[in-house]
Amino acid sequence: MDRFFVDKENIDLTSNTLFIYGEDIKHISKVLRCKLGEKLEICDKDNSEYICEIIDINKEFIKLSILEKVYIKREPNLKIRVYQGVPKNSKMEYILQKLTEVGVNEIILLDTKRSVSKFDEKKEGKKLDRFERIIYEASKQSKRGQIPKLTGVISFKEALNSIKENDLNIVCYENENTTSIKNAIKGVNINSIGIFVGPEGGFCEEEIKELEKNDVKSVSLGNRILRTETASLVASSIVLYELDDLGGN
């Protein structure tokens, strides 16, 4: 069943109805060609989801009646914030899509010394809108219970200021050859983690030193060099696996 997200304020649980506004209207009526009586799965962006039936379609809104509330735990317990050294655009889009599927909570675009794709202020808004759209589509496809937050672009210094919010912070570093993610998170009780991943050219040594000085542990992802888009996906997956947070037994 196709999934859409609506803001809580558009859900009325006393009359068991909800409304879809904006760009999704076109998607539902023109692309999916949904008609009255057809069903959609609607999520409130905060882990509640409902099976609904379309009872009115027009250009301004789609009205649905709620048939059933669904109880499925979609979100991991762990909040993962990925600090992604900004790579070139197409890679960034891939990363946003994949990290959304895997279940991260926030993706932070990090400006690093070796980031090739520099954002210019004029185009930044448009680019971020497109990135948000990619996250939204991936959230629908992967049936997330929440839509990951996109933050950025932030400087290295700003990132260092924000890491205190995380219970633990790690940086994936290809020259680290002793500590694995498994080791870095062994025995610690964490609800949130920050994961730093460098851009195509990696972090420079001063950046790694600066991170380590701020208690960010360097970790290895193995004895091979992964591309940046592989590294953030692998690191997030390993963390969820090691904390037994992927669901199932």
Using CB under 6 A as the criterion, which residues of the chain lie in contact with ligand SAH when the complex forms?
A: 172-174, 197-198, 201-203, 220-222, 224-226, 228, 231
Q: Closest approach of Cβ 218 to ligand SAH, in Å?
A: 8
Work out how close the CB of 120 gets to ligand SAH at its nearest, in angstroms, rounded to a whole number. 24
Q: Report, in Å, the least distance between residue 51 CB and ligand SAH.
A: 41
Backbone angles phi, psi at 240, to 5 degrees: -65, -40
Cα torsion angle, 119, 124, 130, 134, sign: positive
Which residue number places its CB atom closest to ligand SAH? Answer: 198
In the complex, least distance from residue 42 CB atom to ligand SAH, rounded to whole angstroms = 37
| Count of Cβ atoms closer than 10 Å to residue 238 Cβ | 19
Give whichever of 66 and 160 is closer to ligand SAH, judged by the CB atom. 160
Amino acid at position 15, single letter? S
Q: With respect to ligand SAH, which residue has the nearer C-beta, 136 or 173? A: 173
Which residue type sits at 35? K
Question: Given the complex with ligand SAH, which of 18 and 170 has the nearer CB atom?
Answer: 170
CA atoms of 213 and 156, how far apart (whole Å): 13
- By beta-carbon proximity to ligand SAH, the closer residue of 56 and 212 is 212
Residue 228 · residue 197 · CB < 8 Å: yes
Q: Please, are residues 83 and 108 in contact by the beta-carbon 8 Å criterion?
A: yes
